[in-house]
Amino acid sequence: MASPSARFIFEGRTASPGFARGPLVRIDQAPRTSRPPGTRYEEESALRAALDETADQIATLAGAAGGDAAAILEFQLVLLEDASLIEPIFATIAAGTAADAAWSQGLAEQIAEYQAAPDEYQRARASDLIDLRDRVRAALIGGTGSCDQIPAGAVICAEDLPPSRFLEIDWSEGGGVALLQGSPTSHVAMLARSRGVPMIVQLGTLPRSAGTALLDGGEARLELDPTDAQVAAFETRRVAHVRASALTASLLTGPPATCGSETVGLHINIQRIADLDHPDARYADGIGLMRTEFLFADPAGMPDETTQLSVYEAVLHWASGRPVTIRTVDAGGDKPIPGFTEDGEANPFLGVRGLRLCLKRPEIFSVQLRALARAAVQGKLKVMFPMVTLPAEFIAARELFSGVVAELRSAGTAAALPELGMMVEVPAAALTIDAFPAAFFSIGSNDLAQYVMACDRSNGALGALIDPLNPALLELIRRTVEHGRRQGLGVSLCGDMAGEPRCAAALLRCGLREFSMNPASLARVKQSITAFGRERAP
Ligand code: PEP
Ligand code: MG
């Protein structure tokens, strides 16, 4: 049976770890009133003024916050000027609807589209549109309630919280966020992680009022009106968390990992820009693998050149001079993309995937290459191709890329051919590695293991057979690393085994000195590498 206090404990999903203890403050929803329609001219002018006012508010917030927040708010500013969104709304006003009703109707369709997207990342974009809807409505009808009244250190509760409202709150004295809905992949969750503000999402329902709230972001647990014993237990967990974070930070900010006299590079893998918000990501030597499939999962269709360019620019901006390796889209296998990958393949893992598919669909591939060529002038960009099997494929992709660069330049657009490398994840490529004219190699141990061991990587029943420490896999890794050393070419490993501390020693013995992994694994892998290096020290 539940204890008397159990009804005041709520569980959701983690969006940002950390602890907050303070008063629970509910942020009100947008006003539900409407304004009586004026003449067409009055309504059009009112909407124009409201759009301008909203754009000013967001631009001011972006200017004050800078960095990642500015990039996030940019999405909203672009939408406010998007003719395909705005013009139909003015047409509705022309047909006799009041500005606020026309605006809400126009946004409702877009919001519903994002909310219905199969991909959680896309669904999370709906909250940015809801913010725009509410801000413009507030400018037309009256305020939504300001964030000035929020006491320092409060736990903010709302259905969802748009990034712009998050940025209006002063977090300098702590505090946290408890959302009834929301998503860990939303923009506001990214901001919370990067600013160390604890956040729980998807709490469902909460009482409208409560006194003190204890928020444990990592455990996704919210306790309201706690007893003294609950407060004491919460404080014990909070102190332990602070100590553990300090330990990790001291390891990651300490001297670089070494093996003998050689430095070991520790890079990160990212699937989405949000992964850069992980608190340990900043300590990486660079980005060793940026998967780009997420860009192609937009239900609205294939991403255009500008959309892709803005994402690549944001990543290069984050890296601020550190190397960034972006992998061209690896569709197919376990990553089908409607409208792009082949339907009805009997065995998609052995089918038209990765570079094979891109070479078959140059009209889609060249859009990505154009965006990458334009991004290449803005930072230390390296590009690699996935699933390369034959040297001829690599050469064909390189030629296509060179052609794209020449085309852009002749049209007066700044572009460059980045350093071109390849994933080594097909056994045939690993066995004939010296035949590939690549500038660097990145070993994809996830696929390499499944093809070497004839085990579908997604079949849990084969988990024991697909052990990364299998000598056959290690032999292919060793040969690839040795080739790189002989030729003076970089070799990194970006499959999951790079992030497994138990594999570090075996990989170092193969000669590997560049690892790329999820940011969360950096500290533990660094610890294993350091321990191995110490054992080997003379
Ligand atoms: C790999 O195969 O090891 C790899 C990094 O690529 P992915 O997991 O995206 O196939
Ligand atoms: Mg792979």
Q: Ligand 1 atom closest to Cα of 293? A: 9
Contact predicate 117/123, CB 8 Å: yes
What average pLDDT does range 384-394 have in this prediction?
A: 98
Q: Using 50, 70 and 90 to split pLDDT, how confident is the model at 399? A: very high
Whole-number Å distance, alpha carbon 390 to ligand 1 midpoint, is 18
Judge whether 187 counts as a catalytic residue. Answer: yes
Q: Ligand 1 atom closest to Cα of 444? A: 3
Contact predicate 373/408, CB 8 Å: yes
Instruction: Indicate if ligand 1 lies below 6 Å from the C-beta of 494.
Output: yes
Whole-number Å distance, alpha carbon 122 to ligand 1 midpoint, is 23
**Amino acid in position 51:** L
Per-residue pLDDT tens digits for 280-315: 899 999 999 999 998 887 767 889 999 999 999 999
Whole-number Å distance, alpha carbon 446 to ligand 1 midpoint, is 5
Q: Using 50, 70 and 90 to split pLDDT, how confident is the model at 68? A: low
Is pLDDT of 7 > 80? no
Going by DSSP bridges, is the β-strand pair 221-224/155-158 parallel, antiparallel, or unpaired? unpaired
Q: How far apart are CA 425 and CA 451, in angstroms?
A: 8
Mean per-residue pLDDT over the chain, rounded: 89
Is pLDDT of 26 > 60? yes
Closest residue by Cα to residue 187 from 72, 27, 42, 310: 72
The pLDDT, as a whole number, for residue 441 is 98
Contact predicate 452/476, CB 8 Å: yes
Contact predicate 30/137, CB 8 Å: yes
Domains annotated for the chain, with CATH where assigned, are 9-29+147-228 (3.50.30.10), 40-141 (1.10.274.10), 292-420 (3.20.20.60), 425-538 (no CATH)
B/e letters for 119-153, b = 16+ CB within 10 Å, e = fewer, are eebbbbbbbbbbbbbbbbbbbbbeebeeeeebeeb
Instruction: Indicate if ligand 1 lies below 6 Å from the C-beta of 183.
Output: no
Is pLDDT of 127 > 60? yes
Residues 6+ apart with CB under 8 A from 74: 62, 310
Per-residue pLDDT tens digits for 451-490: 999 998 877 788 788 899 999 999 999 999 999 999 999 9
